[in-house]
């Protein structure tokens, strides 16, 4: 009997979750939490943010983001830069160390996935390539 769309959704969720968890394990600094790395990756991909815009992007409260940013700042991964026109406004930017950490983690994750994909058939890799495009589209909704 064909699987229902609900069953297919559950299968996709579990497969995506397990793969994401495995990929998250590949990072250049094992002391960084997933949430901390997510902040670094957001700054790397989207540039400097205010604390409130970064909290909104990461879907956490401003006080929670302030703690995360403070910790990452103490570790030397990012810095707060006062706005030249509005002294009340502060931009959060990556330091060179933060940028290097994101790049090294992305390289480790890509290397792990590349190695894992070598065991897949060409047909399976083609299926995954098509699924990746669909998943990107769904994630943007």
Q: Answer whether residue 52 shows pLDDT above 90.
A: yes
What is the band of 15 on the pLDDT scale with cuts at 50, 70, 90? very high
Task: Of 43, 34, 120, 25, give the one whose Cα is nearest residue 132.
Answer: 120
Span 15-139: which CATH code?
A: 1.10.10.10
Q: Quote the CA–CA distance of 39 and 107 in Å, as a whole number.
A: 18
What is the band of 86 on the pLDDT scale with cuts at 50, 70, 90? confident
Contact of 18 with 68, CB cutoff 8 Å? no
pTM (2 decimals)?
Answer: 0.84
Contact of 110 with 102, CB cutoff 8 Å? no
pLDDT in tens, 57-68: 999 999 999 999
Q: Answer whether residue 93 shows pLDDT above 90.
A: yes
């Amino acid at each position: 009997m064909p699987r229902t769309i609900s069953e297919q959704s559950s299968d996709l969720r579990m497969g995506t979750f397990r793969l994401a968890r495995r990929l998250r394990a590949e990072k250049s600094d094992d002391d960084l939490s997933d949430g901390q790395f997510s902040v670094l990756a957001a700054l790397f991909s989207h540039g400097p943010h205010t604390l409130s815009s970064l909290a909104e992007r990461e879907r956490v409260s401003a006080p929670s983001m302030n703690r995360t940013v403070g910790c990452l700042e103490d570790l030397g991964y990012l810095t707060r830069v006062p706005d030249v026109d509005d002294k009340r406004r502060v931009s959060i930017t990556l330091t060179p160390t933060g940028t290097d950490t994101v790049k090294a983690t992305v390289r480790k994750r890509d290397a792990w996935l590349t190695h894992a994909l070598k065991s897949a058939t060409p047909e399976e890799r083609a299926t995954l390539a098509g699924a990746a495009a669909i998943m990107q589209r769904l994630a943007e909704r």
